[in-house]
Amino acid sequence: MRTLLFVLCLSSLTVLAEEPLNLKVYAPKETSDDPRFKIKTLNDYFPFIPPKDLKSWSSRAEFVRRQILVANGLWPLPEKGDLKAVIHGKIDREEYTIEKVYFASREGHYVTGNLYRPKGKSDQKRPAVLSPHGHWPPEGPKGGRFYENNEENAKKLMKAGDEKTLEGARYPLQARCATLARLGYVVFHFDMVGYADSQPYPHRKGFSDAQADLWLHNYMGIQTWNCIRAYDFLESLPDVDPKRIGVTGASGGGTQTFILGAIDPRPAVLFPAVMVSTAMQGGCVCENAPYLRVNTGNVEFAALAAPKPLGLSAANDWTKEIMTKGYPELQQLYKMYGDEKKVKAKAWLEFGHNYNQPAREMMYEWFNTHLLNQSGAVAEPPFKPVPPAELSVYDEKHPRPRDELSAERLRELLQEKDRQSFQKWTQGKPEEYRRIVGGALAVFLGADLPSRDRVENKSIGEKITFGDYTLRKHILSDPATASKVPAVSLQGKSFNGSMIIWVHPEGKQSLLDDKGQLNGDAKMILDKGYGIVAPDCFGVGESQGKNPFAIDKNFASYTLGYNLPILSQRVRDILTCVAFAQTLEKVQNVKILGLGSSGPWTILARAALGEKGPQLAADLNGFAFEKINSSADPMFLPGALKYGGLSGFLALCAPSEVFLTNGVVEKYVFAFYRTLGQESNLKVTEKGTSQDLIAWLTK
């Protein structure tokens, strides 16, 4: 009886050699519950989890700032040219003046706006406010800074309590700037692209195709750079105190406000209105970019301003829950810095989405407290509006610049600038190259890459013995994404302590021949004493969701701003397998094998593991990111071309051993290896087979 019980408890199953091997991990009709197949959208829930301490927050904040910069195509920040600012056409008011401004934020691209200045002499430089306007209708030359509400709607707002004066109800943007100027601030109110005087191309158009994303040239990045340069302009004025500049805007202008506060250390005080929320994150193409909100959101973006004073207003829109979802967490963070009074939020649920007078008056008081050291409520007085046409920057004496670029020409210029920048990086020090390109790749793959101390393994069924080999089935998980990676591991009797991560576009099923037996390549590895871990990477084999991972057809960033690309997910799965293999008993070494069209996946995975990672043998398969013309392509990776394409990432592997077949590698990669004294560690052949790769990897 004891013998029988012992036999029944053995966790091994013997399979006859001639029987087809069953590599399926899931039971019949069972599908993966991998949460990555549930696509996140801009309308989902984006909570901010306060850090445990300031040390952990510092590390997290550094990554999120870089994530924002990479998403905007601004990592690293471009060189700044001469603004060549033109200020003209002064309009006189009793307590302040309004001037017309345009300057070049970059070659062939101009920022336009109005400069409000207090009258009267001052012995000291004045505080200032940068004011992006947001999506004030209509889009085009009559909206934004030129917004003019009709009298009927204005009176409705006054009746509802949104506004107290007809002037403020009809011209709320002018009211904001005029009041700030009366309070003693220099104010620059500037256009979003496609609004008012900024008409090089329509708002939302020109940067929404796959090629633009491959270079990370997007609408949001253009406007974010305009914000940075607008701040440069305001800071350069002789009457402005550069240490006392605040930023405020509503809705889309609120997005620009907290994004600038997140990535630029200069703003002293911030007040983003009706935009910071755990709910809807921003519906315009100018508020979305690839990678931007993967595992983060607007509340955390606003938190990056800490410990600087941060004021928030909310209304009966997507921001309505800020007092219970977002604001308490921000208070916790500011408390860690020692002053939770430097963050303040208020919600007016009786009003709709707007930057109305009560919210503006909260902002005036907030800026006065932190920029003028003055306390007390501020009532917005009546003012004399300027007809929008008279605010226009361009006239006969100051015509629109002849060198202003269309979207198409601007993209060509940006690509050329990026090529020049990349060439400089390849000629610089390897450590600086790793900081730039490696820093971007880390964003492409998401935070908290899989590691041996965190990877989770769920063994499925019993160990299977067949011939001289053993087979185990697994579901591997990366806690950072809760991914579920179906995989098998194989070892022979002569296992030497080295595991090879077998990556194939057909997944683990590629281990078998037509008869369901191990194929020659797999036997070649096992018979040389090496083990195998073979996954079904994201979207391959059994790694399928109930619904396909579909990219938004109208604008890819509505998907890829919130979810990692398919290629990034597959790379993370490879890294999960590497981490898992490192935890196995008797395993001393891990190597990576990329077969067929999966070869480029493994190059990215190997690049992410740093200069001292495992050996890699991969088939380039003639792949190039330049060939991609659709965001639906599984190999679509926004930003890949900006950072040198496949060779750009391959350079991150230096000086480790790499063998590649069926492709060409750029010369600078070999130069990297030479610089590091390991030129022989990189071997590339224009033609090769899987047997060539395996022979090299198991030599």
Query: pLDDT by residue (tens digit) across 65-124?
Result: 999 999 999 999 999 999 999 999 999 999 999 999 999 999 999 999 999 999 998 889
Q: For residues 528 and 695, what is the distance between their CA atoms, to the nearest angstrom? A: 10
Q: How far is CA 487 from CA 194, 198, 501, 653, 656, in A?
A: 50, 54, 10, 25, 26
| Residue 52, in any domain of the structure | no
| Residue 636, in any domain of the structure | yes
- Say if residue 305 is in the same domain as residue 236: yes
Phi, psi (degrees; rounded to nearest 5) at 189: -105, 110
Tokens 């959208």, located at residue: 41
- Say if residue 673 is in the same domain as residue 593: yes
- Say if residue 491 is in the same domain as residue 614: yes
Q: Are strands 12-14 and 531-535 parallel, antiparallel or unpaired?
A: unpaired
| Residue 16, in any domain of the structure | no
Please say whether the dihedral angle defined by the alpha carbons of residues 249, 358, 323 and 339, taken in this order, is positive or negative: positive
Q: For residues 378 and 365, what is the distance between their CA atoms, to the nearest angstrom? A: 6
DSSP assignments along 474-524, one per residue: EEEE-TTTT--EEEEEEEETT--SEEEEEE-TTGGGGGB-TTSSB-HHHHH
Please give the distance of CA 488 from its chain centroid, rounded to a whole number. Answer: 33
Q: Taking the chain, what is the end-to-end CA distance rounded to the nearest angstrom? A: 49
Q: For residues 664 and 651, what is the distance between their CA atoms, to the nearest angstrom? A: 13
Paired tokens of 431: 């450590």
- Say if residue 207 is in the same domain as residue 282: yes
Q: Which of 385, 402, 420 is the last residue of a domain?
A: 385
- Say if residue 371 is in the same domain as residue 509: no
| Residue 666, in any domain of the structure | yes
| Residue 64, in any domain of the structure | yes
What pLDDT shows up at residue 12?
67
All residues at 6 or more sequence positions from 287 whose CB lies less than 8 Å from its CB, including other chains = 220, 252, 255, 281
- Say if residue 373 is in the same domain as residue 495: no
| Residue 54, in any domain of the structure | no
What pLDDT shows up at residue 16?
62
Stated as kind and residue range, the H or E segment containing 172 is helix 172-182
| Residue 422, in any domain of the structure | no
What pLDDT shows up at residue 9?
42
> Which residue type, as a one-letter code, is found at position 453?
D
- Say if residue 176 is in the same domain as residue 77: yes
| Residue 436, in any domain of the structure | no
What pLDDT shows up at residue 37?
96
β-pair partners for 111: 103
| Stretches in the chain below the pLDDT threshold 50 | 1-10
Cβ atoms within 10 Å, residue 435 = 14
Residue 134's Cβ-side half-sphere holds a number of Cα atoms within 13 Å equal to: 24
- Say if residue 478 is in the same domain as residue 588: yes
What's the CA dihedral at 142, 145, 150, 154 to 10 degrees? Answer: 160
What pLDDT shows up at residue 191?
98
Q: For residues 458 and 557, what is the distance between their CA atoms, to the nearest angstrom? A: 34
Domain harbouring 240, CATH code: 3.40.50.1820
Q: Which of 352, 385, 418 is the last residue of a domain?
A: 385
All residues at 6 or more sequence positions from 157 whose CB lies less than 8 Å from its CB, including other chains = 149, 163, 169, 356
Q: Say if residues 301 and 259 touch (Cβ distance below 8 Å).
A: yes
Q: For residues 84 and 479, what is the distance between their CA atoms, to the nearest angstrom? A: 51
- Say if residue 378 is in the same domain as residue 478: no
Total count of domains within the chain:
2
- Using DSSP's 3-state secondary structure scheme, residue 20 falls into coil
- Say if residue 260 is in the same domain as residue 380: yes
CA-nearest of 501, 444, 358 to 641 is: 444
What pLDDT shows up at residue 2?
44
DSSP 667: H
Q: For residues 685 and 693, what is the distance between their CA atoms, to the nearest angstrom? A: 11
All residues at 6 or more sequence positions from 424 whose CB lies less than 8 Å from its CB, including other chains = none
Please give the distance of CA 363 from its chain centroid, rounded to a whole number. Answer: 29
Q: Angle at which helices 690-697 and 520-527 pack, to 10 degrees? A: 10
All residues at 6 or more sequence positions from 373 whose CB lies less than 8 Å from its CB, including other chains = none
Q: Which of 360, 385, 410 is the last residue of a domain?
A: 385
Strand segments, DSSP code E, in 339-385 are 343-348
Range of the domain at 249: 59-146+172-385
What pLDDT shows up at residue 121?
84
Peptide bond before residue 450 is cis, with ω within 30 degrees of 0: no
Q: Are strands 126-132 and 96-106 parallel, antiparallel or unpaired?
A: unpaired
CA-nearest of 69, 143, 668, 147 to 425 is: 668
Q: Say if residues 503 and 595 touch (Cβ distance below 8 Å).
A: yes
